[in-house]
Structures are given as structure tokens and as C-alpha cells.
Amino acid sequence: MRVSSGVSAAFLVKKVQPEYPEKARRDHIQGTVTLHAVINTTSDITELQTISGDPVLAEAAISAVKQWKYKPYLLQGEPVEVDTQIQVNFILAQK
């Protein structure tokens, strides 16, 4: 079942923040990485692919999102597999 990123975010119960890649920090790279994800009936991410975003940031985003956990999405009381997009924002802190 395809759900919007807003709906899937509401079911997020464990979010691991990505580590900002040193190369990206050094090169002042920031932005949003958009990922395609499939969340199975036991709330694990089984597929994760980059849709858009800087490749240096995408690797860090994928590493973090693989650890995220969701509440099961129920349809008529039964858990269903969810197809969604996840956005991970990388913003350098101002000093």
C-alpha cells in the first residue's frame, strides 16, 4: 500500500539521526535526501533506494534510516506492507 511521507512519519517510533559525513561538512554540502522505502508487515524497512540528493549525503541517510522502526500500518485490522518516501535533511550548523 502506498502512503505519503507524512503518514509514514506519523508511524515512526525510533529515529536514528544520520552522522554528517566529514567530506560533506568540509565541502559545505547540505540539502535533502529523498529515499524510496518499503516497510514490511513487521515494521522493518526491507527496501531502501535513493531517489534524489547528494550521493555523499545519501549514504549517511541510508545508514541511519535502515535503523528506523515503525508501528505497523493496519488496514482493516491487519498489518500491511507500506511503500513510501522518506526525506532526510542535512543542514550545517552556523558558527
pLDDT in tens, 69-91: 998 888 899 999 999 999 999 99
pTM: 0.86
Inside any domain, residue 69: yes
Domain that holds residue 20: 5-90
- What confidence tens digit (pLDDT) does each residue in 27-41 have? 999 999 999 999 999
Residue 57 belongs to a domain: yes
As for how many domains the chain has, the answer is 1
Q: 3-class SS at 20? A: coil
95 part of a folded domain: no
pLDDT in tens, 6-16: 777 788 899 99
Q: 39 with 82: CB under 8 angstroms?
A: yes
pLDDT over 60 (residue 95): no
Give me the CATH number covering residue 45: 3.30.2420.10
Is 6 or 46 the better-scoring residue by pLDDT?
Answer: 46
Cell reading at 13: 517510533
